[in-house]
Amino acid sequence: MRRKLAAGNWKMNGTSASLAEVEALNTAHPTAGVDILICPPATLLSRLSGVAGPAIATGGQDCHAAAAGAHTGDISADMLLDAGASHVILGHSERRADHGETDGTVHVKTVAALNAGLVPVVCVGETEVERDDGKTLQVIGTQLAGSLPDFAGIDRLVVAYEPVWAIGTGRVPTLGQIAEVHDFIRATLAERFGAAAEGMRLLYGGSVKPSNAAEIFAVSNVDGALVGGASLKASDFSGIIAALEQAA
Ligand code: 13P
């Protein structure tokens, strides 16, 4: 059985005052029937890792492929680990768009994260134009093939399906569309990684809220969510965690 995962991506949001949200989550979820992950901006990672209770893991939002060196502004996987992280989001569509990250970039970063002992949360997803052109599964197949490495212990890797057009828009695919993509991802992973694919968790991301979480979590091959806006407030994120616990 795959343990469910509720992951929050704070993106470029949060300052010291936001640590209070984590303290509120600690109180609401001293223990949890699901895994809880918060990925704050790098500036908060160390402090947030110190404040987070036993049920809450922390992660980075990106890492460099190299272990150290002359890469101004970048952060290595080992540095994330040192700051208390256990996970790292890689290949988010915002990084692919804002920083020109390709499947090849994501691939080498994923290797670095796995080598460091982090759990990579690798993001894939189609744009609205690609969906309208009927290319959704083709695009996701290409992203998976290029972004994921062959690596012993790959079963700890998490894949997040985030349709670009659903991120921050309040628009969500139909449950049938989510099922189609998640079933396709599971089958694609099984073809390549064999039995290890059964252990890999698949998250849905894009406008997940407490009000729509339960129906999304009932979809086949949805093992949790990667949540942006609704992870910033403990009360919202807590509702999503509760819905996931119900589904577990
Ligand atoms: P929203 O939940 O704000 O749509 O963001 C989703 C996302 O991009 C998480 O990585």
Tens digit of pLDDT for each residue in 116-168?
999 999 999 999 999 999 999 999 999 999 999 999 899 999 999 999 999 99
Q: Is 239 in the pocket of ligand 1 (CB under 6 A)?
A: no
Tens digit of pLDDT for each residue in 157-206?
999 999 999 999 999 999 999 999 999 999 999 999 999 999 999 999 99
* Active-site residue list: 92, 162
Q: Is 158 in the pocket of ligand 1 (CB under 6 A)?
A: no
Number of alpha carbons in the 13 Å side-chain half-sphere of residue 122: 32
For residues 136-165, b (16+ Cβ closer than 10 Å) or e, as one string? beebbeebbeebbbebeebbbbbbbbbbbb
Task: Identify whether the C-beta of residue 14 lies closer than 8 Å to the C-beta of residue 232.
Answer: yes
Q: Quote the pTM value.
A: 0.98
Q: Is 205 in the pocket of ligand 1 (CB under 6 A)?
A: yes
Q: What is the pLDDT of residue 1?
A: 81
In angstroms, how far is the first alpha carbon of the chain from the final one? 10
Tens digit of pLDDT for each residue in 229-239?
999 999 999 99
**Once rounded to an integer, what is the mean pLDDT over residues 36-41?**
98
C-alpha 228 – ligand 1 centre gap (Å): 3
Identify the DSSP state of 40: -
Confidence of residue 11 (pLDDT cuts 50, 70, 90): very high
> What SS3 state is found at 82?
helix
C-alpha 8 – ligand 1 centre gap (Å): 8
Q: Is 231 in the pocket of ligand 1 (CB under 6 A)?
A: no
Tens digit of pLDDT for each residue in 52-87?
999 999 999 999 999 999 999 999 999 999 999 999
Question: What residues contact residue 181 under an 8 Å CB cut-off, 6+ apart?
Answer: 136, 137, 140, 161, 173
Distance CA 55, CA 103 (A): 32
